[in-house]
Amino acid sequence: MSFKLPTLPYSLSALKPHISEETLSFHYGKHHAGYINKLNALVKGTKFESLTLEELLKTTSGAIFNNAAQSWNHNFYWNSMSPNGGGEPFGAVKQKINEKFGTFESFKKEYSSLLVGHFGSGWGWLVQRQDGTVDIVQTHDAGNPIADGTGKPILACDIWEHAYYLDYKNDRASYVNAWWNTINWEFANKQLQ
């Protein structure tokens, strides 16, 4: 099996003014594509060649894991955003957030704090735990909640510098504030079990 760069669910300019076309073009077309290309080279001719990305997340380590996880994480991140996103959550995800955090504003404050305060590169996730509750977790580098068993991903925010540096330089807080305007709550609702 050869992994392919998935098609973005929107145009490269669709997330403006929150994420520029230049950033999305480099992030998707260079970084994400690079992980796919490296992964294909690493698994070619090995026992891992026939596995899915999720299977690779659960069974590998090192370079294969890093490239598989970054490929999976980025695909989930693209879908966690929408040109028609932002605003407050609705439906089941709103109910789960309110049950855990009390209010959307409390959730937003806690999630933002985790994203901005994360040291180094990584990801911030809204996950659903095995007991059905939701929670916020962070993973470092290519880490992933599926791989580490912390929960089923509901939303993802990429906090590697390549996700925001062209637009926001070293101002991660401004990127996080802008990211809230892109959240795809419809996608989040579909992830809930």
Q: What residue ranges do the domains of the chain occupy?
A: 21-80, 91-192
Joined tokens for residue 133: 């509750």
Residue 124, strand partner residues = 138, 157
- Residue 162 annotated as binding site: yes
Residue 122, strand partner residues = 140
Question: Which position has the token pair 């470092």?
Answer: 140
What is the b/e burial string over 86-115, where b = at least 16 CB atoms within 10 angstroms of the residue's CB? beebeeebbebbeebbeeeeebbeebbebb
User: What does the pLDDT read at residue 130?
Assistant: 96
- Residue 27 annotated as binding site: yes
Give the integer Cα–Cα distance in Å for 164 and 141: 16
- Architecture per CATH, domain 91-192, reads as 3-Layer(bab) Sandwich (3.55)
- Residues 80-120 pLDDT 10s: 999 999 999 999 999 999 999 999 999 999 999 999 999 99
- Architecture per CATH, domain 21-80, reads as Orthogonal Bundle (1.10)
User: What does the pLDDT read at residue 193?
Assistant: 75
User: What does the pLDDT read at residue 42?
Assistant: 98
| 3-class DSSP state of 95 | helix
Mean pLDDT of the chain: 98
- Residue 158 annotated as binding site: yes
Query: Do 21-80 and 91-192 show the same overall fold?
Result: no
* 142, 55 contact by CB (below 8 A): no
User: What is the pLDDT averaged over residues 122-147?
Assistant: 98
Give the integer Cα–Cα distance in Å for 124 and 35: 19
Joined tokens for residue 187: 């996608």
- Residues 11-47 pLDDT 10s: 999 999 999 999 999 999 999 999 999 999 999 999 9
